[in-house]
Amino acid sequence: MIKIGVIGVGYWGPNLIRNFFENCDFDMFICADVKQKRLELIKNKYPGLEVTKDYKKILNNPQIHAVAICTPVYSHYEIAKDALKAGKHVLIEKPMTSTSAQSIELVELAEKSNLTLMVDHTFIYTGAVQLIKQIVKGGEIGDLYYFDSVRINLGLFQHDINVIWDLAPHDISIMDHVINKPPEAVVATGVDHIGNGLEDVAYLTIYYPDNVIAHIHANWLSPVKIRQTLIAGKKKMVVWDDNQSTEKIKIYDTGIVVNKTDTEIYDTLIQYRTGDMYAPKVPNKEALADEVSHFAACIKNNEKPITDGTAGLNVVKILEASEKSIKARGKEIKL
Q: Which is closer to its own copies, CB of 126 or CB of 307?
A: 126
- Minimum gap (Å) between residue 301 Cβ and its own copies: 31
Distance separating alpha carbons of residues 169 and 186, to the nearest angstrom = 14
Distance separating alpha carbons of residues 30 and 55, to the nearest angstrom = 10
Q: 181 exposed, middle or buried (CB, 10 Å; 0-12, 13-18, 19+)? A: exposed
Q: With binding defined as CB under 8 A, does residue 332 bind its own copies?
A: yes
Q: What is the DSSP string of 25-45?
A: TEEEEEEE-S-HHHHHHHHHH
Peptide bond into 280 cis (omega under 30): no
Distance separating alpha carbons of residues 21 and 307, to the nearest angstrom = 22
Q: Which is closer to its own copies, CB of 81 or CB of 250?
A: 250
Distance separating alpha carbons of residues 217 and 168, to the nearest angstrom = 8
Among 28, 232, 288, 319, binds its own copies (CB under 8 A): 232
Among 82, 93, 148, 320, binds its own copies (CB under 8 A): 148
- Minimum gap (Å) between residue 235 Cβ and its own copies: 12
Residues numbered 264-283 forming contacts with its own copies, rule: CB under 8 A:
265-266, 268, 270-272, 274-281
Q: If you count them, how many residues does the chain have?
A: 335
Distance separating alpha carbons of residues 82 and 76, to the nearest angstrom = 10
Provide the 10 A C-beta neighbour count for residue 65.
Answer: 18
- Minimum gap (Å) between residue 239 Cβ and its own copies: 6
Distance separating alpha carbons of residues 208 and 320, to the nearest angstrom = 17
Q: Which is closer to its own copies, CB of 226 or CB of 306?
A: 226
Q: Which is closer to its own copies, CB of 134 or CB of 268?
A: 268
Among 2, 41, 49, 221, binds its own copies (CB under 8 A): 221
Q: With binding defined as CB under 8 A, does residue 44 bind its own copies?
A: no
Task: Judge whether 64 and 84 are in contact, CB under 8 Å.
Answer: no
Residues numbered 54-113 forming contacts with its own copies, rule: CB under 8 A:
none
Distance separating alpha carbons of residues 188 and 207, to the nearest angstrom = 11
Q: With binding defined as CB under 8 A, does residue 193 bind its own copies?
A: yes
Q: Which is closer to its own copies, CB of 156 or CB of 301?
A: 156
Exposure string over 13-25, b if 16+ CB within 10 A, otherwise e: bbbbbbbbbebee
Q: With binding defined as CB under 8 A, does residue 209 bind its own copies?
A: no
Among 1, 10, 36, 194, binds its own copies (CB under 8 A): 194
Residues numbered 107-146 forming contacts with its own copies, rule: CB under 8 A:
145-146
Q: With binding defined as CB under 8 A, does residue 165 bind its own copies?
A: no
Task: Judge whether 48 and 69 are in contact, CB under 8 Å.
Answer: no
Q: With binding defined as CB under 8 A, does residue 190 bind its own copies?
A: yes
Q: With binding defined as CB under 8 A, does residue 203 bind its own copies?
A: yes
- Minimum gap (Å) between residue 124 Cβ and its own copies: 23
Instruction: Summarize as ranges the residues that interact with its own copies (CB under 8 A).
Output: 145-146, 148, 152, 154-157, 159-160, 185, 187, 189-197, 201, 203, 205, 207, 211-213, 215, 217, 219, 221-225, 230, 232, 234, 237-239, 246-247, 250, 252, 254, 256, 258, 265-266, 268, 270-272, 274-281, 325, 328-332
